[in-house]
Amino acid sequence: MSTTAPGLGHALDISSTSPTPFSRLVRVELRKTWDTRAGLWLLISTAVVTALVMVIQLAVVVANDLQVSYNDFLTSTNFSIGLLLPVIGILLLTSEWSQRTAMVTFSLEPRRPHVIAAKFVVGIGLAVVAVIIALVLATICNALYGALSGDTVVWDQSAEQTAYFVLLQVIGMLTGFAFAALLLNSPAAIVLYMVYSFVLPGLFGLGAALIGWFEKIQPWIDFNDAQTGLFDGNGMSGDDWAHFAVSGFIWLVVPLGIGIARVLRAEVK
Amino acid sequence: MITVEGLTRKYGTFTAVDDVSFVCQPGRVTGFLGPNGAGKTTTMRIMVGLTAPTAGRVTIGGHLYQDIPNPGRHVGVLLDASAQHAGRTGREILELGARTMGLDGSRVDEMLELVSLTPGEAKRRLRNYSLGMKQRLGIAHALLGDPSVLILDEPANGLDPAGIRWMRGLLKGYAERGGTVLLSSHLLNEVELIADEMILIGHGKIVAQGDKKSLLAGAKGSGTTFVTALDNQVLAEALQAKGFVVAGAGDGLRVETEPVEVGRTAAEKAIVLTDLRAADGGLEDLFLELTSDTQREGMA
Ligand SMILES: Nc1ncnc2c1ncn2[C@@H]1O[C@H](COP(=O)(O)OP(=O)(O)OP(=O)(O)O)[C@@H](O)[C@H]1O
Ligand SMILES: [Mg+2]
């Protein structure tokens, strides 16, 4: 039991400690995602829901004698990790505010950009792990589909499409993260994300159908629409990438920028 | 050593901390005393970079807090013991701190033992902690990195009498080994027992600072005596005859003079005294007086 306060003069000798390495911050931030019951269950249920949705899809497909491919199984993740990864991304940041742990986090590491970057890295890491789990589950379901239905199994996932799939999930996670940084409040950020992904596309579609000039700008501001090529199997054209970049700047980069600037300056209490 | 220089923090037109300057010396416990809303917590938050000052600065051992690498190893901070994730166990909260600072896992057990949290209690989640247990955990967290400077906001809050005595011993020993301790409180009695130096703040301004003796020397109210006699009535008349102001106080009398004068009068009149002492509310009176325009209640 040592609480020895080292004998010291009036100056603090800081040569004995080195700045906290980034890798250590990442490990601590990762640990924070599962060291509470709520956090652990969110991660577990994300995996379970992903499996469940695919199994239901498999049962329906086999029972109704439908034709599906590997990619169809992956598309079902729109209803699992597509929804839950953004929520994980949101809670990575907002839980520090709702639980007021930011006070401790930022007093142990006053370089706030390092903390935010560590959370960002954890978010991307979790998205990649989720994708790997989804790919494995889709492989199992597609093989089972072949065995159960007797139809030819179609493995229609190219390396390019796999990369698109990773990109799609990482973007979902980061959009949640950006909204969280902007609002610093879990319920508000989750509602904003749901509005953004379910209500907004409808409004954009309606606007484009009713207002002539809106139809022209809609592709440039509708980030959901701009991501369609990442999962519908038609791929991304040069135009698609341009729409993707511009709308992504509006919905991802701008909120993230404003949000981070806010976190860096915020009074923590 | 903590050096606060011309620190000011404004919220809109309201000035929470107003041109505050003081120094906390190593080897001494400095008490930061003031009524509710005086600006103690705000000052401490600025010290560790959680709130930006409007003007002025704080250095710790010559460095801005932000410039100290791995600051938890040098400065132990407890600002709000309940500002922790309600769903984490006590042990996990210390574990996260230890990992962030790059400490050995054994340090967590040492600190739990130091603050008398049992292994069973350490496994409970923070939402099931009592106020005093949270406070003990907060103190353990502040001590984790074996820092040489401690900044504690109302550390005695919620501790039982034994806990307060334990903390007093801990902090005193800590300062004796050369550490710098700054602790805040709005309770004078608490600080009086622990602190070597006192800084009194009211309405964001420092109203007095110094060690206990020098503060008392400047206090009004010395020269008042409490006395109880077998026959208070006779004593009161004798004192009044000599021109002293006498008033009833509890079982006895309050006399506006030194105890020696009261004793002399009693001896002259052969009155038996059962209690004679100088009114020792000096520091308390001083505290209330200095912060009176900042008190919420009018002074009784
Ligand atoms: N973000 C803020 N906006 C407006 N006023 C604030 C803010 N933060 C603090 N204050 C005000 O600053 C003053 C000082 O508050 P502070 O918490 O420092 O007091 P304190 O001395 O710690 O009091 P207590 O003994 O009750 O803990 C209070 O009047 C408080 O309302
Ligand atoms: Mg306070």
Question: Does residue B85 lie within any of the structural domains?
Answer: yes
In Å, how far is A101's CA from the nearest CA of chain B? 5
**Interface contact flag, B113 A4, Cβ < 8 Å:** no
Same domain? B55 vs B191: yes
Tell me if B217 is assigned to some domain.
Answer: no
Are B100 and A108 an interchain contact pair (Cβ–Cβ within 8 Å)? yes
Sheet holding B225-229, edge to edge: B246-249, B252-255, B225-229, B273-278
Q: Which of B41, B79, B188 is the best mutation target for the ligand 1 pocket, counting ligand atoms within 8 Å of the beta carbon and taking the most? A: B41
Residue B286, pLDDT above cutoff 80: no
Residue B21, domain member (yes or no): yes
| pTM more than 0.80 | yes
pLDDT in tens, A72-121: 898 888 889 999 999 999 999 999 999 999 999 999 999 999 999 999 99
Mean pLDDT calculated for residue range B78-101: 96
The answer to whether the CB of B286 falls within 8 A of the CB of B26 is no
d(CA A259, CA A178): 7
pLDDT tens track for B143-198: 999 999 999 999 998 899 999 999 999 999 999 999 999 999 988 888 888 899 99
Contact call for A24 and B102, based on CB within 8 A? yes
Q: Can you give the pLDDT at residue B283?
A: 66
pLDDT at B190: 82
Looking at residue B258, its pLDDT comes to 83
Give residue B52 CA to ligand 1 midpoint distance, Å: 14
User: Could you give the CA distance from residue B288 to residue B244 in angstroms, rounded to a whole number?
Assistant: 26
Task: Report the alpha-carbon distance of residue A56 to residue A54 in Å, rounded.
Answer: 5
Pair B109, B237 in one domain? no
Same domain for B261 and B123: no
CATH code of the domain in which B156 resides: 3.40.50.300
pLDDT for the residue numbered A4: 44
- Give the pLDDT score at B221: 52
What part of B 152-211 touches A (C-beta under 8 Å)? 170, 173-175, 177-179
pLDDT at position B66: 95
Which ligand is closest to the CA of B199, given by its number?
1
Pocket test for ligand 1, best of B9, B11, B191 (most atoms within 8 A of CB): B11
Distance CA A97, CA B37 (A): 23
Query: What are the residue ranges spanned by the domains of chain A?
Result: 22-265
CA of B44 to the centre of ligand 2 (A): 9
Do B267 and B141 lie in one domain? The reply is no
According to DSSP, the β-strands at B149-153 and B180-185 are parallel
Tell me if chain A has a CB within 8 Å of the CB of B65.
Answer: yes
Task: List, for chain A, all residue ranges whose pLDDT scores fall below the cut of 70.
Answer: 1-10
B97 and B180 co-located in one domain: yes
Q: Are strands B29-33 and B197-202 parallel, antiparallel or unpaired?
A: parallel
DSSP, collapsed to helix, strand or coil, labels residue B203 as coil
Clarify whether residues B122 and B229 are in a common domain: no
Residues above pLDDT 90, as percent of chain B: 71
pLDDT at position B211, please? Answer: 85
pLDDT of res. B280: 62
What's the confidence (pLDDT) of residue B222?
58
Domain end call among B209, B244, B259: B209
Distance from the alpha carbon of residue B34 to the mean position of ligand 2, in angstroms: 9
Distance to chain B for A135, nearest Cα, Å: 32
- Taking contacts as CB-CB distances below 8 angstroms, the residues of chain A near B50 are 103, 106-107, 267-269
Q: What is the pLDDT of residue B75?
A: 97
Pocket lining: B39 vs ligand 1, CB cutoff 6 Å: yes
* Total tally of structural domains belonging to chain B: 2
Angle between the N-to-C axes of helices A112-149 and A254-265, in degrees from 0 to 180, rounded to the nearest 10: 140
Q: What is the pLDDT of residue B252?
A: 87
pLDDT per residue as tens digits for the range B7-47: 999 999 999 999 999 999 999 999 999 989 999 999 999 99
Residue B277 has a pLDDT of 82
pLDDT of residue A75: 87
Question: pLDDT class for B296, splitting at 50, 70, 90?
Answer: low
pLDDT at B300 over 50: no
- Is residue B293 included in any domain, yes or no? no
Q: Pick from B209, B233, B253: which residue ends a domain?
A: B209
Domain of residue B137, residue span? 2-209
Of B4-8, B69-73, B190-194, least confident by mean pLDDT is: B190-194
Select from B180, B209, B238 the last residue of a domain.
Answer: B209
Six-digit token pair at A96? 């520090």
What pLDDT was estimated at residue A3? Answer: 45
Q: What is the number of CB-based contacts under 8 A between chain A and chain B? A: 144
| CB–CB contact A269 B45 (8 Å) | yes
Residue having the nearest C-alpha atom to atom 7 of ligand 1:
B11
Residues B81 and B42 in one domain: yes
